[in-house]
Amino acid sequence: MTTAIPVDYPICLRLEGRRVLLVGGGAIAEGRALALLEAGARLQLVAPSVTEVLAKLAGEGRLDWVSRAYEDGDTRGHTLVLTATDDASVNQRIVTEARARGLWVNTADEPELCDFTLPSVERRGPITVAVSTAGQAPALARHLRRALASHIAPHHVLLARLSGWLRRQLPRGPRRQQLLKRLAEGDLGVLLARGEQARAFARLRTELKHWKSSGEPT
Ligand SMILES: C[C@@]1(CC(=O)O)c2cc3[nH]c(cc4nc(cc5[nH]c(cc(n2)[C@H]1CCC(=O)O)[C@@](C)(CC(=O)O)[C@@H]5CCC(=O)O)C(CC(=O)O)=C4CCC(=O)O)c(CCC(=O)O)c3CC(=O)O
Ligand SMILES: NC(=O)C1=CN([C@@H]2O[C@H](COP(=O)(O)OP(=O)(O)OC[C@H]3O[C@@H](n4cnc5c(N)ncnc54)[C@H](O)[C@@H]3O)[C@@H](O)[C@H]2O)C=CC1
């Protein structure tokens, strides 16, 4: 109980088009692969045998399956490495090689061999709920993630999309900030939460008209 608990630094990675190496082809690797593909990664999978789902994804060309055991040099050219084999010595080799190349590596069952860990994740449109427990309680992370995600209602997703649209249309500055805050937690947000979309949009339209007539670009 006295072992120091790491203080993790959470980030959201943009993996679109980036080369990611995943070693291992069991159930754990399958979960990792689906999440990486959802994020748009260019995924290479190294494993002598894989699950049906992974084989199907490889058959469809969604990932590049190298059907053999891991070999030294396999991490070359990748930006991120994840390993989920059932062989601790192989995991150790991969971690050593990845770190020597300055790559970030995750090992599914060994926190000591992780430069980053994976939180429990749930998505609602552009909103992501992610809970980490610094490797202490993954089952609790899942439990809390479900509880927290249950608080995200459809109007929050609408609001996030609307905010994204407004941020693209309106110039930066205090006026835009104020409007977006009202949308998130002020009168406009309250109307959306109550299901009074028509009133919220009418108010927003009036607001945008004033914006135009005041000469600021929209
Ligand atoms: C460090 C980390 C490494 C990493 O990044 O992979 C890690 C490590 C380990 N997990 C173990 C066990 C379990 N893991 C889960 C579930 C999840 N584990 C996930 C992440 C992480 N697990 C990272 C830290 C996350 C954090 O900080 O909270 C989740 C959140 C995300 C994901 O994996 O995608 C996913 C939930 C996904 C969801 O939302 O559904 C369950 C629950 C279950 O499966 O029912 C159990 C059984 C209960 C238990 O043992 O606690 C063991 C012991 C293995 C053994 O005993 O053999 C180790 C190794 C060790 O701790 O030594
Ligand atoms: N969330 C977490 O962090 C958890 C992690 N684990 C751990 O994750 C690991 C993987 O779990 P599963 O997918 O269930 O295992 P699994 O036994 O179903 O799959 C292991 C995979 O590794 C591949 N493999 C073995 N040697 C290899 C090598 N030299 N090169 C490339 N691939 C190789 C096998 O072909 C197979 O596809 C286990 O060690 C397990 O203890 C387990 C539960 C939770």
The CA-to-CA distance between both ends of the chain, in Å, stands at 57
Residue 128 lies in a domain: no
The domain in which residue 189 lies consists of 154-213
Q: How far apart are CA 75 and CA 103, in angstroms?
A: 8
Q: Whose CA is nearest to atom 28 of ligand 2?
A: 69
Stretch 12-29: mean pLDDT, rounded? Answer: 98
For residue 117, the ligand 1 atom closest to its alpha carbon is 5
Residue 129 lies in a domain: no
Identify whether residues 102 and 2 lie together within a single domain: yes
Question: Which of these three, 118, 143, 172, is where a domain ends?
Answer: 118
For residue 215, is pLDDT > 90?
no
Identify whether residues 100 and 49 lie together within a single domain: yes
For residue 1, is pLDDT > 60?
no
Torsion angle of C-alpha atoms 110, 114, 120, 122, degrees rounded to 10: -140
* Distance (Å) from CA 168 to ligand 2 centroid: 43
For residue 118, the ligand 1 atom closest to its alpha carbon is 5
Identify whether residues 13 and 59 lie together within a single domain: yes
* 141 Cβ inside 6 Å of ligand 1: yes
Residue 127 lies in a domain: no
Q: How far apart are CA 217 and CA 117, in angstroms?
A: 44
In the chain, which residue ranges form alpha helices assigned H by DSSP?
A: 27-38, 52-59, 88-100, 138-149, 154-169, 174-185, 187-193, 197-213
Structure ipTM: 0.92
* 134 Cβ inside 6 Å of ligand 1: yes
pTM of the predicted model as reported, rounded to 2 decimal places: 0.92
Stretch 98-117: mean pLDDT, rounded? Answer: 94
Identify whether residues 89 and 167 lie together within a single domain: no
Identify whether residues 92 and 181 lie together within a single domain: no
Q: How far apart are CA 32 and CA 124, in angstroms?
A: 19
* Distance (Å) from CA 28 to ligand 1 centroid: 10
Q: Each residue of 174-206: pLDDT tens digit?
A: 999 999 999 999 999 999 999 999 999 999 999
Residue 59 lies in a domain: yes
* Distance (Å) from CA 106 to ligand 1 centroid: 12
Look at residues 118, 119, 111 and name the one whose alpha carbon lies nearest to residue 144.
119
Q: How far apart are CA 140 and CA 12, in angstroms?
A: 21
Residue 141 lies in a domain: no
Residue 125 lies in a domain: no
pLDDT band at 109 (very low <50, low <70, confident <90, very high): confident
Q: How many domains in the chain? A: 2
* Distance (Å) from CA 112 to ligand 1 centroid: 13
Question: Which of these three, 74, 97, 118, is where a domain ends?
Answer: 118
What's 99's domain CATH number? 3.40.50.720
* Cβ neighbours of 128 (radius 10 Å): 13
* 86 Cβ inside 6 Å of ligand 2: yes
Q: Each residue of 73-104: pLDDT tens digit?
A: 999 999 999 999 999 999 999 999 999 999 99
